[in-house]
Structure 1
Amino acid sequence: MSTFTDRFNTALLVIDAQTDVLADGYLRDETISNIQLLVTRARELGVPVIWVQHSDDELVLNSEGWKIVPELSPAESEEIINKLYGDAFEATALESVLSKNGVGRLVVSGAQSDACIRSTAHGAFTRGYDVTLVSDAHTTSDMTEWGAPPPEMAISHINLYWQFQGAPGRTASVSSAAEINFGA
């Protein structure tokens, strides 16, 4: 159980599922399909779905490339968090949204695996949250020209090491979209 003694709820985070971010994502369509599955299941169970959107000099706020991919659509009642940093907690309202909803466990999906997904998962874990990374609902682009491993290896590595994270009073886990149980 998370380190929060009064937060028993789970939330689904959909991080940077934006047009330009996912344009060349590894297994893009499969990843989006798995995110759709998670969003649908979360909504059916009344689990909060929280959307995170990044902006910077290349990903301009409110531009076409900044928008959520057309295959996914936030419900009017769902929170949207705008961020400027890799960790979705940095200089955003994410913590207050989670607190308001009694959330102590996060299910993490979206992009980029080796940047904002990793940063936010670590940020959540160090802040006391239980974090489940959805193995087949996060992706990244090919960044080999900058020395990164190929996308499939980057994703595999993050899935591998995340399951072995440990800290007092918190759990880190990795599950496929089909295995996610929002009530556990």
Structure 2
Amino acid sequence: MSGEVRRFFVANLPETGATDFSLPEAVGRHLRVLRSKVGDEIVLFDGSGRESVATLTAIEPATCAAGETTVAQPQLPAIHLIQALPKGKKLESIVRMATEVGVDAIHLAITDRTVSRPDGPRGEGRARRLERIATEATRQARRRTVPQIHPPVSLAEPAARAPQSAPRLIFWEESTK
């Protein structure tokens, strides 16, 4: 690989010093497309703030030797976005961009004007897709933590859970301040 070290999401990081850690099939496919070679360094992260530098030991099937696992220091203050459900596929872009700028949690809200109602199997599939988008945006933005995406609830619920001392900002297109 030339230049930068590639980052890949894995659900479970290998133990420090593991010499034969099997990578998920999607990661292996990605490594083959990138024409990675045995000996290349990669970074594995689990989305909870932990990451491990690893060295590829085989490409078919993709395996690696793991280095030391490090834990990210918490970033303060935590940013929680309360987002009303928009129409169409706008939510995917919102999740991607919010993840890239460092949002720690996304609370989906149903308001009086919400048209989109993600219920049943369609809503579950959409939730999994949003999680995949957030995971990929985390990888691309070189973050260590994947933001938590909370299911849609009324607007009042996430606002009430926020600490009273937390600053609250409302972005409204007709605001004059």
Query: TM above 0.5, one fold?
Result: no
TM-score (norm 2): 0.30
TM value normalised by structure 1 = 0.30
Higher-helix-fraction structure: 1
